[in-house]
A and B are shown apart, each in its own frame.
Chain A
Amino acid sequence: MIALLMRDLRLAVRAGGGFGLGLAFFLIVVTLVPFGVGPEGKILARIAPGILWVGALLACLLSLDRIFALDYEDGSLDLLVTAPVPLEGVVSIKALAHWITTGLPLVVAAPVFGILLHLPQGAHVWMVISLLLGTPALSVLGTFGAALTVGLKRGGLLLSLLVLPFYVPTLIFGAELVRRGAEGMNTETPLLMLAGITAATVALVPFASAAAIRVNLR
């Protein structure tokens, strides 16, 4: 499994386009928003948590279709399915690799982008915490969508339609956590809910994804 993780990471870094592309997309979103709503710091500070979360969500979505598509095309997915490692484990590792290449850079870069959007000082730590807790759920749910659409020729748009509704709870609690953190309110409830959603999805969704892949390769 570790070998699979290393393989996926190496592929993401060396094949080009995967690693860092999500981050660049995140930067573009953050740059475009002030053009749209105007440069006043007050407005930007108010909407910053939402923008950063929606940006993270879209950046995550952008790289989902390559989770299984490349392996499906060159046939290595068939080998992975017949390998002695359980498919649920393979799916979890794929999600982890996706998170390391897209989720983790977003977490690290979020404070910098927060400065661009005049995110209040106290909210930065909450931004990082919320992304750290929330982005794994995005990756795991993304593998489910990717698993559903893996056999399709033009699955990209369908993938977005399928996956985005699943992101709603994570988005709500993630953005709420940062908003409450920025205003110095009690953050316990959204923090626990966000952690709970992520824990549950990481534990349960790989089974659904594995089932979908088995169907698609039948």
Chain B
Amino acid sequence: MSIWEYANPVKFMKTTDKILPWTVGIAAITLIVGLVWGYFFVPAAENFGGSVKVIYVHVPAAMMAINIWVMMVVTSLIWLIRRHHVSALAAKAAAPIGAVMTLIALITGAVWGQPMWGTWWEWDPRLTSFLILFLFYLGYIALWAAVENPDTAADLTGVLSLVGGVFAVLSRYAANFWNQGLHQGATLSMDSEQHIADVYWFPLLLCLAGFVFFFLALVLIRTRTEVRARRLGAIQQRERMA
């Protein structure tokens, strides 16, 4: 028994077929409970008013936006080193979700920034680096779409995700140096003195878990679709040959 067993598409399909309903279920429950709790049963914060509630979408989306790229780097590395096709397909499946998460974080941030800072957009380091991250996602998706041979595309996008990850981090710190920001510091931290009061913290935690499972469910569905599309292509090719 090793984790590489799941690199076998048949094994992967069989296992995810069992896991998927659970993932979807957990995602639905945690998201619904977390969002309803956060939106209807939490007192409005001092100095923030009702607008604080956007935090339950904004923070998880932002967290996922960064971590999805990390996941793409890991799966691309697995593909580049061990040539497991499922891994490459998972990276491909994750990219559009990551792009959408980045966009959600940017849009909810703008909606939140309007009442708080009095502006929709500010060239703040965090905002700027998210915009750049979004561009990296777009480039990655475009490269997948442009290259015809699937193996070549997987290799090229794998290299791109590695180099892009380094430069996304670099841009983040360069932007930090370039402009002082309006954005507040880290909301979540292991140090309980620093992070927000418990009334907001617990529903936020649920929403974070909900987003993680939501992403898992989406990426499993999309990867399964990619595997099926790959099989279909193989079958069609065989028919043509015969």
Q: What is the minimal beta-carbon distance from A176 to any residue of chain B, in angstroms?
A: 6
* Minimum C-beta distance from A154 to chain B (A): 8
Q: Is the CB of B163 within 8 A of A205?
A: yes
Query: Are A165 and B177 also in contact (CB < 8 A) when A208-B159, A208-B162, A212-B159 are?
Result: no
Q: A151-B147, A161-B142 are in contact. Are A172 and B160 (CB under 8 A)?
A: no
Q: Is B66 an interface residue (CB 8 A)?
A: no
Q: Judge whether B167 is part of the interface by a CB distance below 8 angstroms.
A: yes
Residues of chain B from 150 to 174 with CB closer than 8 A to chain A in the complex: 152, 155-156, 159-160, 162-164, 167-168, 170-171, 174
Chain B residues touching A, majority SS: helix
Contacts of A164 in B (CB 8 A): 135
**A193 contacts across to B, CB distance below 8 A:** 174, 177
Given contacts A148-B156, A211-B159, contact A161 B138 (CB under 8 A): yes
Q: Is the CB of A165 within 8 A of B156?
A: no
Which residues does chain A contribute within 8 Å of B135, judged by CB atoms?
A: 161, 164-165
The listed residue with most B CB atoms (<10 A of its CB), out of A164, A176, A211, is A211
- Least distance between A155 CB and chain B CB atoms (Å): 7
Please give, as numbers and ranges, the residues of chain A lying within 8 Å of B152 by CB-CB distance. Answer: 151, 215-216, 218
| Contact in complex: B139, A162 (CB < 8 Å) | yes
Q: Give A140-182 interface residues, CB cut-off 8 Å to B.
A: 144, 148-149, 151-152, 155, 158, 161-162, 164-166, 168-169, 172-173, 176
Residues B177 and A189 in contact, CB atoms below 8 Å apart: yes
Most chain B CB within 10 A, of A158, A165, A176, is at: A165
Q: Name A214's closest neighbour in chain B (CB-CB).
A: B155
Residue contact A169 to B171, C-beta cutoff 8 Å? yes
User: Are B163 and A161 in contact, CB atoms less than 8 angstroms apart?
Assistant: no
Give Cα A72–Cα B136 distance, bound, in whole angstroms. Answer: 26
Is B175 interfacial (CB-CB < 8 Å)?
A: yes
Please, which residue of chain A has its CB at the minimum distance from the CB of B173? Answer: A169
A47 at the interface (CB under 8 A from B): no
Q: A148-B160, A158-B142, A215-B155 are in contact. Are A165 and B136 (CB under 8 A)?
A: yes
A172 contacts B174, CB within 8 Å?
yes
- Given the contacts A162-B143, A165-B132, A189-B177, A212 and B167 also touching, CB distance less than 8 Å: no
Q: Determine the distance from Cα of A205 to Cα of B146 in the docked complex, in whole angstroms.
A: 22
A172 to B172, CA, bound (A): 11
What class of interface size applies to chain B in its complex with A? 20 to 34
Query: Is the Cβ of B167 less than 8 Å from the Cβ of A166?
Result: yes
- A197 close to B (CB within 8 Å): yes
Beta-carbon contact of A173 and B156 below 8 Å = no
Are B177 and A176 touching (Cβ within 8 A)?
yes
Return B169 CB to nearest CB of chain A, in Å. 10
Q: A163 — nearest CB in chain B belongs to which residue? A: B139
Query: Which residues of chain A are within 8 angstroms of B160 by Cβ–Cβ distance?
Result: 148, 162
**B48 touches A (CB below 8 Å):** no
Asked if A173 meets B174 with Cβ closer than 8 Å, knowing A148-B159, A218-B152, the reply is yes
Residue from B138, B160, B174 with most neighbouring chain A CB atoms (10 Å):
B174
Cβ contacts under 8 Å, B41 to chain A: none
A149 and B174 contact, CB distance less than 8 A:
no
Further contacts, 15 of them, CB under 8 A, given A148-B160, A161-B142, A212-B156:
A155-B146, A158-B139, A161-B138, A161-B139, A162-B139, A162-B142, A162-B143, A162-B160, A165-B135, A165-B164, A165-B168, A172-B175, A176-B177, A189-B177, A218-B152
- 29 A-B interface contacts by CB (under 8 A): A148-B160, A151-B152, A152-B146, A155-B146, A158-B143, A161-B138, A162-B139, A162-B160, A164-B135, A165-B135, A165-B164, A165-B168, A168-B174, A168-B175, A169-B170, A169-B174, A172-B171, A172-B177, A172-B178, A176-B178, A190-B177, A193-B177, A197-B170, A205-B163, A208-B162, A208-B163, A212-B156, A212-B159, A216-B156
